[in-house]
Chains A and B, each alone.
Chain A
């Protein structure tokens, strides 16, 4: 069975400081992992995906994530937060089947 846990429901950072959103997963197989972002009143948008190629994955808007199998983690980072990054972020796992499982989400607040 597959599952995903986002360790923080809310994260607050100041503009220009680093962002870290934490995600741990559980999967019986080699999973595909994704991060999606949801801005208010907008649809979910793919940030980046990991599919067993490079363990460090670069996405849009300066975000990146590192797959660490030994820690079963896929944390999302960005060196410098921007006000426009304020949104809800979802870590997502798929083990090759039909179901794609979403975490509960982490709301990112960015202070000026």
Chain B
């Protein structure tokens, strides 16, 4: 069965470029999360979607970060005018339930973004 798929696996961007990271969640999963994982750190919450609705974006570090999930399945995380501090692994996770804390998360392998 297909798991959570993220693309690209690796992305190198020059400072100031815009990037778009894609997440294909498990089919039928209502909840979708984006996390940022800096080197040597645990994943940090960025944003949460319940179907197509973005219910929590409190973790997005600046207005250069934007996420969408227009049809309630595939999601895109966009970073405008990338900065070196944006270099990290961006993880996408989905879960079957809607906003329930006890549902396990299914993670993709992440996109490693390096800003030079």
Which residues does A use to contact B, with CB under 8 Å?
31-32, 34, 36, 41-46, 49, 51, 90, 94-105
Contacts and interface: CB of A to CB of B under 8 A. Distances in A.
B104 A34 contact: yes
B42 A96 contact: no
B41 A105 contact: yes
Given A98-B48, A104-B42, A43 B102 contact: no
B45 A90 contact: no
B56 A99 contact: yes
Contacts of B3: 43
Contacts of A100: 33, 45, 101, 105
Contact of A44 (B40, B43, B55, B56): B43
A98 B55 contact: yes
